[in-house]
Amino acid sequence: PDFVAALMEFTSALNGHCLSDAELGLFSGAVLLSERPGLNDVKAVQRLQDRLLEALSVQGDRQNQPAANAPGLIGITQRLPELRALGSRHADLLDWFRKNWTKLKLPPLFAEIFDIPKCEEDLQQ
């Protein structure tokens, strides 16, 4: 319940920024292009992410609604750590499902999307 509540709170806050399709695309790119374990060139990834965030700011300025500086709301770029924390929590929950799959009856599509075994045969693949 805590994860779902936090996810709903985040999506509601993100929706409150009223991002255009272009802004949402730039924000999504910045989110997907974030640092993670195993990267060889962290600085290069950070530079690319910074460019996307700058483009987001420029796009917001063009629409006279700077998404990164929305008044009365936490700036959208300041929500990135919150989103990373949600992603980490989601990964932890999926790991729990993978470890406890024998005790669960999951919908097949859910298990397939999140790579959760449904039977012993799935473990062999």
> How far is the C-alpha of 107 from the C-alpha of 118, rounded, in Å?
9
Question: Hey, what amino acid is at 29?
Answer: G
Whole-number pLDDT of residue 75: 77
User: What CATH topology corresponds to 2-124?
Assistant: Retinoid X Receptor (1.10.565)
Whole-number pLDDT of residue 73: 34
**Higher pLDDT pick, 64 / 87:** 87
Nearest to 35 by CA among 74, 88, 76: 88
pLDDT digits (tens, 9 = 90+) for 25-79: 999 998 998 877 788 899 999 999 999 988 888 887 777 655 554 443 347 888 8
First to last CA, the chain: 32
